[in-house]
Chain A
Amino acid sequence: MTRPQDNRDELERRIDDALHDLGQRRAPGTLESRVLAELTRRAALPWWRKHFAHWPVAARAAFLIASGGSVQLAIVAAMWVFARVHGLSVSTAATSWLRSAGQLTSSMFNLSVSLVGLIPHRWLYAGAALCMLLYGTLLGLGAVGYRLLYADPTSRGLTQT
């Protein structure tokens, strides 16, 4: 009497032999021409449309220098704008506006906590359960709809012909 494990090992061996016996699939005849055409297309691109690593050394150096200059310019400009704004005392107005916004947010939060405290806990639990139920229903309907309308039948199993 053979054990299930022996049957599985035998099945593995037979499938392994059969699959290795398949050999290699022949590549389509168009593959080589496609690769060569793509290489030709890429070779015909101007240097600035190629990967940065393929740019001429001088162009790469110029790009790096220009990038560094741009960063430095942006920092200087930001510092200049900040100094001008600070000079016009706009920062004080901005600070007071932020403080007001913070107070408003805090008040809204306290109001929400108070309102939630007034609602009986059973209602809260029932509401949460209802939300979860509706979420699950929506997800289920979406999955069923996808499987009925879009899913490839062969991805769910093989049909008998």
Chain B
Amino acid sequence: MHAYQDMVFSTAVRLTGNDAQAEDIAQEVFLKAYERFEQLRGSPTAGGWLKTVVTNLTLNHLSRYRARWRFFSELTHDDGHDDAAELTFAAPDTPAAQIDAEQRRALLENALRRLPEHQRLPLVLYHFEDMAYQEIAQRLHLSLAKVKTDILRGRAALAKLLPQS
């Protein structure tokens, strides 16, 4: 458990954006793992199994508790234009180039957590879980175009925290 608890918690917390929910999900994952302890002990695929289970449990959790409000909470204009400019974050007091790497990581983690769910979910699945756009669209029951647009907007919002290249 020690070897995988950070990975399991990280996956859950980045998908949910909520520490308490992520801890509940991580607990459920390890309870499931305990039921298969004999199969997983010493298995080289244990990490992959845990990753798959935590991703599935988190997505199921999110769809179960939020599907009923999705219609109302996402009644935003989706006319294709890039609204990333509307998203602003708590800016550091110092210019982006001057903050240290640790501070930047904390800001980025916080910004990721505060992204709207419809942007954070596909963005995390793409960049952390290495899922393809098509796979994300199928998993979230969304159109391919919406997935691409949401990921692009999420990236644009996060890009404000990166140093200018």
- Which residues from chain A sit less than 8 Å from chain B, CB to CB? 8, 10-12, 14-16, 18-28, 30-32, 34-35, 38-39, 42, 142-143, 146-147, 151-152, 154-161
Interface size class of B (residues with CB under 8 A): 35 or more
Q: Which residues of A contact B128 (CB under 8 A)?
A: 19
**Segment at the A interface, from B8-16, B39-47, B57-65:** B8-16
A8 touches B152 (CB 8 A): yes
A24 to chain B, nearest CB (A): 4
Interface majority SS on B: helix, strand, loop or mixed?
helix
Instruction: Kindly state the separation between the CA atoms of A58 and B142 in the bound complex, as whole angstroms.
Output: 49
Is there a chain A Cβ closer than 8 Å to B108's Cβ?
Answer: yes
Contact for B108 among A8, A12, A19, A27, CB less than 8 A: A19
With A15-B155, A154-B114: A28-B23 Cβ-Cβ less than 8 Å: yes
Chain B 2-45 interface 0/1 with A at a Cβ cutoff of 8 Å (1 = within): 10011111100110000100010011001100100000000000
Tell me if B136 counts as interface (CB < 8 A to partner A). no
A152 vs B113: C-alpha distance when bound (angstroms) = 14
Contacts of B69 in A (CB 8 A): 146, 151
Given contacts A15-B155, A27-B9, A39-B31, contact A32 B1 (CB under 8 A): yes
- CB pair A20–B127 under 8 Å, yes or no, is yes
- By a beta-carbon cutoff of 8 Å, the part of chain B in contact with chain A is 1-2, 5-10, 13-14, 19, 23, 26-27, 30-31, 34, 69, 71-73, 75-76, 86-90, 101, 105, 108-109, 111-112, 114-117, 127-128, 152, 155-159, 161-162, 165
Q: A11-B159, A35-B31, A143-B72 are in contact. List 15 more A-B contacts (CB 8 A).
A: A11-B155, A18-B161, A21-B101, A21-B105, A22-B105, A27-B8, A27-B9, A28-B9, A31-B9, A31-B26, A31-B30, A147-B72, A154-B116, A156-B73, A158-B114
B26 touches A27 (CB 8 A): yes
CB < 8 Å neighbour of B73 from A12, A25, A28, A151? A151
Distance to closest chain A CB from B85 (angstroms):
11
A118 to chain B, nearest CB (A): 39
Distance from A34 Cβ to chain B, minimum over Cβ atoms (Å): 5
